[in-house]
Amino acid sequence: MRMSEPSGNMFRIVLLLTVLIPSIVDSNYFGTNDKKNDQCFCKLKGSIDDCSCSVDTVDYFNNVKIYPRLQSLLVRDYFRFYKVNLKQECPFWSDDSKCAMRYCHVQPCQDEDIPEGLKGDVLRNFHFNESPIDKYKPEAQFSDCLYSAKDHNRELGYLNTTISLEKYKDFELWQQYDDAQDNFCVKESSPGEYVNLLLNPERYTGYKGPSAHRIWRSIYMENCFRPENSPHNFIQSSKINGMCLEKRVFYRVISGLHASINIHLCAKYLTSSKDTLGIVPGGGQWGPNLKEFRRRFSPEETGGEGPNWLKNLYFIYLLELRALEKAAPYLEREEYYTGNKVQDADTRVAINDVLNVVRSFPEHFNESVMFTGGAEAQLLKEEFKQHFRNISRIMDCVGCDKCKLWGKLQIHGLGTALKILFSGKFDRWEPTLIHFSRKKFYLERSEIVALINAFGRLSESIFELDKFRQMMR
């Protein structure tokens, strides 16, 4: 009996450890008592500035609920093909620093690679009662807007209601001008070409040096709202609390986007440039680079600012999450048409599932407290918009085509989110007034693609951030 007692105690200890170890491991994800983990600069804690929720809440919500769904959604045809103009000239300076590395290049789609349903642009004021297969075909651009006189009632007298092609183009210009008043991004001079985002992933390309630094320096120094006596290329977080809410929001979304892009580059860093068959078409191998992550975000390398930049990632995530919730009634009615009936139906189910999860988040960003206070607030809102439009122009100055592609897409997506939150047109949705609501709450297909992909980039950044935490342990 005496010999069996220690064995019984040992069994109880082993049983207790079996129960406790999983919970201890799980606790590292949401918050831990391990002092070493707590001291890690990327183990963020507490509330997110100018928001009501905490970092832990967003980590769990994103990594468990949102990230897996978005990964499944973004591989679908509607979201993986993005139309972009990569040949637009830089309007601010002569760009003589083009990236010569092959990893900087983007291969546009051939016509036969593009789904048939994506080739035609739908005219917003027509085709409301047509089937998708009719209204999305390219030749439907002008055909149905040229009305026939045979439909007129002769007893009421003849009325010529035909619209010439020239007049219709004038109407489109008027509509574009009206839309431009709400847009936070500058409309591109030409539609550009389709790019398959899955074949041109965002990752480190080797683009660096003066050209790359000039992009971010121009954004922060010339287009961000700045507190007084802030000479640095970046804005010290301790000084932005002296600015009004709207100016703080602008800085935090730009800083958060910058942090997100840097995380992508660290998570998919070029670890070998040798031609390695079976790894990546064209050679090369990418993987996480913890040393580079520390260089870009550790307090020692960033003057103590790195953890604040990481927190701003959570801020922009919450802002775009709120935009998705606000536009959900509109997005749920979109057709997501590519010409493949089965895939289009699956895409509608998948996007509605994502939007239902988005709605379930308990503490959304509150945009209604911004730009209140009469004429002065409206002037600030216009200045806010002009600053962001300048940043969208700066994307044409990026010397690496792949960096330009993802920079333009993420700025386009963020600009769409700001349009949803602050144009005022998504504040009251009336789904029964289909014709009116389509005109009033119109989002172009490229805006929807950019919005979802941009949010997907932020979601992946938060997911990758947790993987870097695990590597540091």
Write the DSSP symbol of residue 337: -
The residue annotated as part of the active site, out of 51, 104, 266, 400, is 400
Sequence length of the chain is 473
User: Which residue numbers belong to the known binding site?
Assistant: 203, 205, 216, 255, 258, 296
Report in angstroms the alpha-carbon separations of 283 from 140, 278, 279, 350: 43, 8, 7, 34
Helices (H), 86-226: 132-135, 165-180, 210-223
Cα dihedral: 202, 205, 211, 217 (round 10): 40
Beta strands in 191-255 (DSSP E): 193-196
Write the DSSP symbol of residue 52: S
User: Which residue numbers belong to the known binding site for FAD?
Assistant: 203, 205, 216, 255, 258, 296
- Gap between the Cα atoms of 345 and 343, Å rounded: 5
The residue annotated as part of the active site, out of 104, 266, 397, 403, is 403
Within 13 Å, how many C-alpha atoms sit on residue 461's CB side? Answer: 30
Indicate the pairing of strand 81-84 with strand 193-196.
antiparallel
- Gap between the Cα atoms of 362 and 314, Å rounded: 15
Report in angstroms the alpha-carbon separations of 162 from 58, 129, 146, 152: 55, 19, 6, 11
Reply yes or no on whether 99 is catalytic.
no
Reply yes or no on whether 185 is catalytic.
no
Residue type, position 285, single letter? Q
Helix (H) / strand (E) containing 334: none
How many other CB atoms sit within 10 Å of the CB of residue 242?
11
Residue 466's nearest CA partner among 314, 277, 248 is: 314
Instruction: Identify the burial level of 204 via C-beta atoms within 10 angstroms of its C-beta, where 0-12 means exposed, 13-18 middle and 19 or more buried.
Output: buried
Within 13 Å, how many C-alpha atoms sit on residue 325's CB side? Answer: 17
Helix 445-472 × helix 290-297 angle, to 10°: 100
Alpha-carbon Rg of the chain, whole angstroms?
25
Note whether 293 and 260 are within 8 A (CB).
Answer: no
What is the set of active-site residues? 400, 403
